[in-house]
Amino acid sequence: MARTLFLLILMAMVTFVPFTTPEKTKVVEASKETTEVVVSQSPDLQAKIDAILNDERLQGTSTGVSIRNADTGEVLYSYYGDMRLHPASNMKLLTTIAALETLGEDYQFTTEVLTDGSITGNVLQGNLYIKGKGDPTLLEKDFDQFAKDLKAKGIQQINGNLIGDDSWYDDIRLSQDLNWSDESYYTGAQVSALTLSPNEDYDAGTVIVEVTPSTEVGGKAQVKVTPETDYVTILNNTEMVAAGQSKRISIEREHGTNNIVVEGVMPLNGTTSRSWVAVWEPTGYALDVFKKSLKEQGIALVGNADVKVGVTPENATVLTAKKSMTLEDLLIPFMKLSNNGHGETLTKEMGKVVYGEGSWDKGLQVIEEVITDFGVNGDTILLRDGSGMSHKNMIPANEITQLLYAVQDESWYPAFEQSLPVAGESDRLVGGTLRSRMTSEPAKGNVKAKTGSLTGVSTLSGYVTSADGKKLIFSIMFNNYLGFSATSIENSIATTLAGHEF
């Protein structure tokens, strides 16, 4: 009896082990060649971050936090830092680093206008091709310039077809995990090697739809599309109502079509409603705008000319061409404004340049190869797109900070750091998605980091300098949260790092 009682007491002592904070004791050396984690806790820093994470709103949330010394790579704090989580737009950090390493900061996209015929008098006898090679920054004015260049060569008529060539990439327009409900919006725009942006935010494959009041109650509101194009059809189901009433306007494209439905009520004193709407098959959109540019320059398609998609013959002659801004410059709207289309375009471009195939599969292969060369553990990540829209991308916080540590010695690193949003800086091409966050010192102008946001996902990863001058790297990842904004907790952690003294 006594032996049985002793065993029961011993089992109880073994079973009821006090809970300890996870992942805060492992100590190994970190370098660019390894993703093993050294955790050298600063007790004061640990207490500060633990207190922030001890927030009842985080109950049921999957949280990963990693903080490193930027000079040594030493992990100073890790809270579930090895847990695989969805990065949202922090995925763009990986894409940008891979693009800089693979393509180089001076890389430019090219667009060409070619013919398989010849110019006789003022007639181009042959087909006119516009060949896209991925440039997401083409604007209507660039198409106008192409038309002016052709006019300067004496061309007034084209006795042939107008053909758009998007064969530089494959014909898969949307990444595999994009939700169907996102397809109408600029955040889920289709990717084509021949595409067009409506303004200098460079949201390729979209048009801007603006709804403004008209002057008659009971009539319809005014709708404007930029750039002007017949490629989309506006279905105006709006109604004007008296001044002072509430405005309710929705703008959405019907799936599988280019019918853009505008509906709701607009008061006489209502403000403008504006939306960037993704088009269906952007190659045709670019072709339509180019055809309009040709017409404005007095260049006519004659005979039984057709406007269609095709492939440029290898022996075609280049009539005019344009190079895009450099990758270094493109990274500003890409990273500052978190442009999803740029992430997917760069992914396909890397696949094309490295493996001769402009596809997501090959592009993601390049990204994974690059980041694993920088010490990221390829066995603990899953990459599904280049923008972070997928809810299936997975990477731990410790791997993000490892990557951000390892790239600091690269010649292109200044361009990478320059592309990151800066806390509290009101200029949208400086502060970017952090321009309205952490607007006071010590975080303002100090925290340089990429934001990320999906339903139930919020992330922030980047760099900050502590109060005593130590550069730190951090990654904060929240998944599966509900009912509140996790950005306030991210702000608290980043601000605490900015104000900390070691």
* Cα separation, 75 vs 42, whole angstroms: 10
Q: What is the SS3 assignment for 113-133?
A: EEECCEEECCEEECCEEEEEC
* Cα separation, 228 vs 224, whole angstroms: 8
> Is 89 an annotated catalytic residue?
yes
User: Catalytic one among 78, 92, 453, 461?
Assistant: 92
User: Catalytic one among 184, 275, 324, 338?
Assistant: 338
The pair of three-digit structure tokens given for residue 407, joined into one six-digit string: 């790239």
Question: Beta partners for 307?
Answer: 162
Three-state DSSP at 321 gives strand
User: Catalytic one among 66, 78, 89, 273?
Assistant: 89
Q: Provide the 10 A C-beta neighbour count for residue 158.
A: 23
Could you say which DSSP state residue 61 is in?
-
The pair of three-digit structure tokens given for residue 206, joined into one six-digit string: 């979209």
DSSP string, 374-424: TT--GGG-B---SSS--S--BEEHHHHHHHHHHGGGSTTHHHHHHHS-BTT
* Cα separation, 445 vs 433, whole angstroms: 13
Three-state DSSP at 152 gives helix
* Cα separation, 12 vs 18, whole angstroms: 12
> Is 92 an annotated catalytic residue?
yes
Task: Examine residue 22 and say whether the peptide bond preceding it is cis (omega within 30 degrees of 0).
Answer: no
Q: Tell which residue, 435, 346, 356, 353, has the closest CA to residue 387.
A: 346
Q: What is the SS3 assignment for 78-108?
A: EECCCCEECCHHHHHHHHHHHHHHHCCCCCC
Judged on CB neighbours under 10 Å (0-12, 13-18, 19+), 3 is exposed
C-alpha angle 335/227/341, rounded to 5°? Answer: 25
Q: To which residue do tokens 């990863």 refer?
A: 461
Three-state DSSP at 50 gives helix
**What are the residue numbers of the active site?**
89, 92, 338
